[in-house]
Amino acid sequence: MRGIERSLDKFNAAGIRPVAISVDSPEQLRELVETNKFTFPFLSDPDLTAVRAYDLVHPGAGEEGRDIARPAEFLIDSSGTVRWVNLTDNYWVRGTPEQILEAAKTLP
């Protein structure tokens, strides 16, 4: 997330608007955003509605065995069509801003 924040100028120049979706509560996300001074939107999905819609549930991987989202990055066009996906099973492994920007260059 910090890499995304540091690269916002590059994302904006490429026409990409980053949005994070988390299973954390709005209160938890507010604290995360304020602490880290993130300036892009973070959306709370504690019921996993969006997480399920994108088939990203990582069953039992959260605290006390609760379901969480698998780490993923998507490039979605203005019509809502998913154009690129980077998906991992490891919470600590994320796509880099450079990977996302490079993938965006290959899309129509």
Q: What CATH number corresponds to the domain at position 10?
A: 3.40.30.10
Confidence band of 5 (pLDDT split at 50, 70, 90):
very high
Average the pLDDT over 42-67 and give the result: 92
Residue 45 structural domain? 2-105
Output the pTM of the full model.
Answer: 0.83
Number of domains present in the structure of the chain = 1
Runs of H (alpha helix) within the chain: 2-6, 8-13, 26-36, 49-53, 97-105
